[in-house]
Amino acid sequence: MLGTILTSLKLGVAMDVFEAIKQRRSVRSYKDKPIAEKDLMRILEAARLAPSAKNFQEWRFVVVKDKRIREKLSEAAKGQRSVAQAPVVIACCAKTDNHVMTCGQLCYPIDLAIAIDHMILEATELGIGSCWIGAFYEDRVKEVLNIPEAIRVVELLPLGYPADKKPVEKPRLSLKEIVKYEKWS
CATH of residue 19 = 3.40.109.10
Closest CA to 111 of 51, 49, 48, 21: 51
pLDDT at 12: 58
- Residue 184 resides in a domain: no
pLDDT of residue 40: 98
Residue 1 is predicted with a pLDDT of 45
pLDDT at 81: 96
CA distance 111 to 28: 25
Owning domain of residue 79: 2-164
Strands (E), 19-178: 59-64, 88-95, 129-130, 151-160
Question: Residue 169 is which amino acid?
Answer: E
**pLDDT score for 2:** 47
Task: Evaluate whether residue 181 is within a structural domain.
Answer: no
* Residue ranges, the chain, pLDDT below 70: 1-13, 167
Q: What does pTM read for this prediction?
A: 0.89
Residue 171 lies in a domain: no
The total number of structural domains that make up the chain? 1
Sheet containing strand 151-160, edge to edge, reads 59-64, 88-95, 151-160, 129-130
Within the chain, residue ranges assigned H as helices are: 2-10, 17-23, 37-48, 67-76, 81-85, 107-125, 138-145, 175-178
- Residue 72 belongs to a domain: yes
Identify whether 174 is part of a domain: no
CA distance 97 to 108: 9
Is the residue at 155 inside a domain?
A: yes
Q: Is residue 15 part of a domain?
A: yes
Residues 12-63: pLDDT tens digits?
567 788 988 888 999 999 999 999 999 999 999 999 999 999 999 999 999 9
What's the number of CA atoms in the CB half-sphere (13 Å) around residue 110?
Answer: 15
47, part of any domain: yes
